[in-house]
Amino acid sequence: MKTRILEIIAFIMLLGVSNLFSQDTSTVPIGGLKEPYDVVVDVDTDLFYFTDNANGRIVLWDPEQQLMSDLQSGVLGSPQGIALGRGGLIVTETGSHRITTVSFGGEVEVIAGGTAGFSDGNGAGAEFRFPI
């Protein structure tokens, strides 16, 4: 599997992935990424998930089909950190001071936080200030 990941990275480099981060949105079907912060690769499916901080979205990229699409758009408050979880992604939102899950179908559920601060608690009772 590690060899496959290296092949995908090489493939991305050959494509000139700088176009993904371009301000010129004519080169990318869903527009350029603005302030991409983190990326995670699902090694089982070879799909890439980017946090697109300034656009408030998660972007899915399939290198095999050269297809880029929104997994979730506009409802996330400055998504930054991203990790694979069971059935979806775990995302930190610095703008909303919360941690959410985003299913592979695009459904968002708040795990914890939502109020800026520093307090232990469960669910909405937890407080974070700009989680990364």
Ordered by start, the domain boundaries in the chain are 35-125
DSSP code of residue 128: B
Note the pLDDT tens digit of each residue in 76-113: 999 999 999 988 999 999 999 999 999 988 889 999 98
Would you say residue 22 has pLDDT above 60?
no
Q: Please report, rounded to a whole number, the percentage of residues in the chain having pLDDT higher than 70.
A: 72
CA distances from 125 to 57, 89, 92, 96, 120 (A): 25, 22, 16, 14, 7
Query: How far, in Å, CA of 106 to CA of 124, rounded?
Result: 21
Would you say residue 38 has pLDDT above 60?
yes
Q: Please report, rounded to a whole number, the percentage of residues in the chain having pLDDT higher than 90.
A: 19
CATH number of 35-125: 2.40.10.500
Would you say residue 51 has pLDDT above 70?
yes
